[in-house]
Amino acid sequence: MASKRKSDNDSDEEKKPVKKVPHWKGGLLTSMHDSDAQVYTDDDVIIIKDKYPKATYHFLVMPKENIPNLKSLTKDNVELLQHMHEKGKEMAEKADPDLQFRLGYHAIPSMSHLHLHVISQDFDSPCLKNKKHWNSFTTEYFIESEEIIEELKKNGKVVKDVNHSQELLKKPLRCHVCKKEQPTIPALKKHIKEHNYKKSKH
Ligand code: AMP
Ligand code: ZN
C-alpha cells in the first residue's frame, strides 16, 4: 500500500508543469555575456552597466555561478557575496571616488540571476520614471549588501516577507536625504537636485 502511494506521488511529480521564466526576465544573462556591456570580469563575477540606469552610475555585479536569487543562497555563498561587495565597491570608487553610492539587493527582484545593485545616490537619470522605481531604491525594499551577508552568515539563508516588500513600493514619495514628502516624480527630481551627493570629508 505504502509503495503504491509512493509511486502515485512520483507520477504526480512527473506531471507537474515546468515553471517557465518569462523571456524578458532572462535579459541580465544575455547582457552578462555581452562583452560590450561588461565593465569588469574575473573568475567569479561579472559587472555590467545597468541597461536602464536609475542614477548617473548604476552597475550590476553578478556571480558567474548560476544563482537565480536571494532565496537560492546558502552559507557556502558567503565568500562569493563578500567578493561581489568588494568588487562593487571598487567599481564605485573607480567611477567617481567623491560620489556617494549604495550597494544592495531588491527584496523582490524583477530579473532572474542574482544581481547586486551598485548605484550612485544622485538618482539623476531619465530612466527613473515612477514611484516603483524610486521606492525600490530608497525604502527598505533596497537591502544593503552587508545586511544580506550578515543574515546569510547567521541563518544560512535569506528570507524576505514578500507582502511587506510589495507594500513598500506603494509608500509616498519621500526625498532620500531630508525625508521630505514630494507630490510627484518631477517635483521630487527637482527637489533632490538641491542636495549634495559628494562624500563628506572628515
Ligand atoms: P531588479 O528589480 O533588482 O531585478 O533590477 C533589475 C535591473 O536590471 C534594473 O535596474 C533594470 O534596469 C536592469 N535591466 C533590465 N534589463 C536589463 C538588461 N537586458 N541588461 C542590463 N540591465 C537590465
Ligand atoms: Zn530632500
Could you identify the atom of ligand 1 that is nearest to the CA of residue 27?
19
Q: Are 51 and 137 in contact (CB under 8 A)?
A: no
**Ligand closest to CA 47:** 1
pLDDT at 20: 63
Active site (annotated) includes residue 115: yes
| Ligand 1 in reach of 25 Cβ (< 6 A) | no
List the catalytic residue out of 58, 85, 115, 117: 115
Q: Residue with C-alpha cell 509608500?
A: 171
CA dihedral 183, 184, 189, 194 (to 10 degrees): -10
Q: Tell me the backbone φ, ψ of residue 151, rounded to 5 degrees.
A: -65, -40
Ligand 1 mean position, distance from CA 15 (Å): 33
Helices (H) and strands (E) in the chain, counts: 7, 6
Query: How confident is the chain (202 residues) per 10-residue block, as mean pLDDT?
Result: 42 53 80 93 98 98 96 97 98 98 97 97 98 98 98 96 95 98 98 92 58
Ligand 1 mean position, distance from CA 132 (Å): 14
Question: Which residue, among 137, 140, 123, has the nearest Cα to 197 in the 3D structure?
Answer: 123
Evaluate if pTM is beyond 0.85. Answer: yes
> For the chain, what are the domain ranges?
25-192
| Ligand 1 in reach of 113 Cβ (< 6 A) | no
CATH code for residues 25-192: 3.30.428.10
Q: Are 106 and 136 in contact (CB under 8 A)?
A: yes
Ligand 2 mean position, distance from CA 175 (Å): 5
Question: Which residue, among 143, 201, 185, has the nearest Cα to 168 in the 3D structure?
Answer: 143
Residues 6+ apart with CB under 8 A from 168: 107, 135, 139, 140, 141
Q: How many CB atoms lie within 10 A of CB 167?
A: 13
**Ligand closest to CA 23:** 1
Nearest CA to ligand 1 atom 14: 51
| Ligand 1 in reach of 61 Cβ (< 6 A) | no
